């Protein structure tokens, strides 16, 4: 057995531990067949692509407009308070040396 192993897989001869031999699939498993269906998925229909392409553009534009409306609806105090709060929180993180704080 060692001679046959040396001829086929020399790297396994000096290996420590068990060597596992993986057998072929059992006869009942090898009988299973797979079939490929030639029906295209619904997502590839041209009408859906045409509709969703325009719908996606509409939603993207709507989201951008909503974001701009939100930004413009805030006052200058809103942004000043937010920047001051961020600076205070950074200072707390530095003073705590990365430890947890409330």
pLDDT for res 18: 74
For the stretch 3-12, contacts whose Cβ atoms lie closer than 8 Å and that sit 24 or more positions apart, written own/partner, are: none
User: What gap in Å lies between CA 1 and CA 64, rounded to an integer?
Assistant: 72
The 10s digit of each residue's pLDDT in 42-71 is: 655 566 666 777 888 888 899 999 999 999
pLDDT for res 53: 79
User: What gap in Å lies between CA 74 and CA 13, rounded to an integer?
Assistant: 75
pLDDT for res 5: 63
Nearest partner of 79 among 97, 99, 87, judged by Cα: 87
pLDDT for res 78: 94
The 10s digit of each residue's pLDDT in 3-47 is: 776 676 777 777 777 766 666 666 666 677 777 767 666 655 566
User: What gap in Å lies between CA 78 and CA 81, rounded to an integer?
Assistant: 5
């Amino acid at each position: 057995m060692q001679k046959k192993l040396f001829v086929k897989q020399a790297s396994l001869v000096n290996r420590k531990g068990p060597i596992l031999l993986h057998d072929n699939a059992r006869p009942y498993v090898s009988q299973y067949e797979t079939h490929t269906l030639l029906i295209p998925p619904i997502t590839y229909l041209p009408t859906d692509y045409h509709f969703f392409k325009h719908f996606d553009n509409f939603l993207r534009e709507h989201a951008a407009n909503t974001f701009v409306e939100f930004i413009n609806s805030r006052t200058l105090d809103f942004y000043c308070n937010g920047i001051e709060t961020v600076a205070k929180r950074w200072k707390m993180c530095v003073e705590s040396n990365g430890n947890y704080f409330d």
